[in-house]
Structure 1
C-alpha cells in the first residue's frame, strides 16, 4: 500500500513537471514571429543564393539569410517591430522592401523581385501600412495595448 502511494505521488509530480515545461515553451514562442518569402526575378524565376538582410528600423540590427535553391528564405523568432528587408543577388540590383511590420504570432510574408543591373543600383519598395490578409497560417490573434 505504501509503495502504491509513493508511485502515485511520483506520477503526479512527473505530470506537474511535464505540464509546467509545456507552458514555459509556449510562452517563449508567443513573443516572436517569423518573416519569410521568396526572391524572384522579373520573369518569375526564383533566385537561389540571394542575400537577404532583415534590418530593425529602430536599432539598425541586422539578421542575414541566404535563399535556398527554390529562392525561399525564412527568419524565425523575429521580435515585433518595423523592419526593412534588403535583398541582393549577383548580377541584380539591390532591392529594399521598407515598412515591413512584424507582429507577435503573425507571420510576415515578404516576396522580393530583383531587377537585372549593377550592385550599386537600388530598387526601393514600400510594404504599405494597410491591413493585410494573413495567408501563411490559420492563427487568429491580435495584440491589445492597455
Structure 2
C-alpha cells in the first residue's frame, strides 16, 4: 500500500477479549523482565470499562513520491503488533510475547486512503478511536 492507512484489531469473543487485555496489562506491569517488548499504553481514562471489541486503533503514514520508500509498510507495522519485529523497543501490541498460548481470533481491518492530506490522518485516527474506545493506546 502506498498511501496513508488506518487500521484496527478487533476480537469478537468478549471473554477472550477480557483475557487478552488482562494478559496485556500484566505484561505491561513487568517491564523489567528480560526480553520485554514495548506495548501500547493503557487506554484513556474515558475508555476504561469499555465494552468495545476493538483492541487497538493505529495509523501508518504513506511515504509518497518524495521519498525512496514509496509505500506505507503497513505489513511491517502489523508484524510489530504480532510481536515478530526484530527490535524490542518498537512499540506495538507484541501479541506473541504474552498471548501466544491463547486461542483467539483477531480481525485486522485496514483502510488505505488516497489523496488524504497528512494533517488529516491523526484527526481521523482520533475520531475512529473516540468512536470505538479501544482497550489500549493513547488517542
Sort the TM-score into its range (normalised by shorter chain).
under 0.3
Structure number with the bigger relative contact order (C-alpha 8 A, sep ≥ 6) is 2
Per the normalisation by structure 2, the TM-score is: 0.27
Structure with the bigger percentage of strand: 1
Larger Rg: 1
Per the normalisation by structure 1, the TM-score is: 0.26
Structure with the bigger percentage of helix: 2
